[in-house]
Amino acid sequence: MIAKKAFNDEIKRIEGEIAQVQRLDAVNSGLQAFNWVFLHPYSQGGDIGVLSRFLKSENAEEKILSFFAYKFLDLRNTIHLIDGFYRKRPFLKDYADSIEESVLLCLQKDFRGAITILLPVIEGTLRKYLVDKRGEHKKKETDISKLLNSIEDLKEDYIELQKKYLKNRFDYLVISNNYFDINQEEAILNKNKQYFDLWMKQLKSYLKNNLYKNTREVEATDKLNRHLIFHALEDNIEFTFGNYLRLFNCLSYLSWVIGMTNEGCSVLSQANEQDVMDKWADYLKILVISEALNETKVSIYKKEIVSFKKYLPKQYLPFIEQPETRIKKILEDYNFLKGFEKSKINSIPKLFKGILFFNSIRRAPKS
């Protein structure tokens, strides 16, 4: 009787988790249909309801981008993902520096560079796992269908670990010789497989049908495609903030699945909070300078550069706007070079010193 109740409770618990992922899966299917940013395993339960409403509303695309942008630009959370999860996961941790470099490029609005750096991380992580599982002959594997087969191997590892956790959780049944029979254990593990497959369905779908779709055989419906980008087969690739966030969210899938198949991985961030705060200050410096350079980039690129300020949490704005204004004033000192005659180029250092001296007097606070 004790074992039967424990069995029913365990089945009910996993079915509850499956139902939650099914709701998330339905939302992600709606998001992926439009090539929009999608939810990942570290998303919060309330996110499902919010995005469900957005999908049915006017200006859905902008609202959804704002939702994910807000989360990413709440930089302490992003740092926790990098240092508290990605750096702690086998295989993925080897790319943590590349991931962070891509984030810093993103903050500087260099989305082309940020995306290009991040693209190899996903397949590289899967390949490293495959080599560990299947041997060195997989070291040069580039076929995405074979790389995606590693997810089946990950599922086997996941089920083995769940089998071990099951016995640990119900050790009182093992001790009393009342542990689940073979059929009960198999039924529980099958529910775990269903749960795992639901999560991985979303990642596999995006990688197979979008990011790594074989464009030699089928026309791409999503221009954010590895083959199109690396072989320069398209001129109008959308190197955008939204597309960067799609790639970045894929990392959370990889982090989650690797964490769920390795016993030593914590489900909580393992980053030191003081280290996170210190790095947050440095990330803010980059963000401030990035915002101050918007007008300069518009002048160079001859196109609109979108400000991140509309996506930022309100409490960030005082940290951004005041120093941004000061930096812009400093950058204005260089405008005297525009239209400067080449024949007088040797006089620039002396003139620049004079301009700096004049501006320091002009900007000095009046007593």
> pLDDT tens-digit profile of 257-302?
999 999 989 999 999 999 999 999 999 999 999 999 999 999 999 9
Q: Do 11 and 170 touch, CB atoms closer than 8 A? A: no
37 in any annotated domain = yes
278 in any annotated domain = no
348 in any annotated domain = no
What are the structure tokens assigned to 216, written together? 């030699």
Q: Do 39 and 24 touch, CB atoms closer than 8 A? A: yes
* Longest CA span, the chain: 96
For residue 218, is pLDDT > 80?
A: no
Tell me which of 239 and 345 has the higher pLDDT: 239
- H/E run at residue 157: helix 150-169
Tell me which of 92 and 211 has the higher pLDDT: 92
pLDDT in tens, 136-152: 877 777 777 788 888 99
Note down the domain range covering 102: 2-270
pLDDT in tens, 5-20: 999 999 999 999 999 9
CA dist 21 and 198 (Å) reads 7
Average pLDDT over the chain, rounded to an integer: 88
Q: Domain count for the chain, please give it.
A: 1
What are the structure tokens assigned to 30, written together? 């709606």
Q: Which residue type does 84 have?
A: G
One DSSP character per residue, 163-221 reads: HHHHHHHTHHHHHTT----HHHHHHHHHHHHHHHHHHHHHHHHHIIIIIT--TTTS--S
What are the structure tokens assigned to 242, written together? 């939204």
Average pLDDT over residues 61-81: 94
What are the structure tokens assigned to 269, written together? 């961030």
Q: Do 79 and 280 touch, CB atoms closer than 8 A? A: yes
Q: Which residue type does 334 have?
A: Y
Q: Which residue type does 31 have?
A: L
For residue 343, is pLDDT > 70?
A: no
Among 65, 75, 23, 28, residue whose Cα is nearest residue 45? 23
191 in any annotated domain = yes
319 in any annotated domain = no
For residue 175, is pLDDT > 70?
A: yes
Average pLDDT over residues 173-200: 95
Q: What is the number of residues in the chain?
A: 367
74 in any annotated domain = yes
Q: Do 38 and 62 touch, CB atoms closer than 8 A? A: no
Q: Do 179 and 160 touch, CB atoms closer than 8 A? A: no
Given pLDDT bands bounded at 50, 70 and 90, which one contains residue 358?
A: low
CA dist 250 and 169 (Å) reads 31
Looking at the chain, the whole-number percentage of residues with pLDDT higher than 90 is 61
Q: From start to end of 15-71, where are the E strands?
A: none
CA dist 67 and 39 (Å) reads 11
Among 70, 60, 65, residue whose Cα is nearest residue 38? 65
CA dist 58 and 351 (Å) reads 54
**Could you count the other beta carbons within 10 Å of the beta carbon of residue 144?**
19
For residue 186, is pLDDT > 90?
A: yes
Looking at the chain, the whole-number percentage of residues with pLDDT higher than 70 is 89
* pLDDT at res. 303: 92
For residue 94, is pLDDT > 70?
A: yes
Q: Do 127 and 138 touch, CB atoms closer than 8 A? A: yes
CA dist 72 and 283 (Å) reads 12
What are the structure tokens assigned to 20, written together? 């939650």
Q: Do 125 and 92 touch, CB atoms closer than 8 A? A: yes
Which of 214-218, 220-224, 333-337 reaches the highest mean pLDDT? 333-337
164 in any annotated domain = yes
- Residue 106 sits at φ, ψ, to 5 deg, of -60, -45
92 in any annotated domain = yes
Q: What is the pTM of this model?
A: 0.89
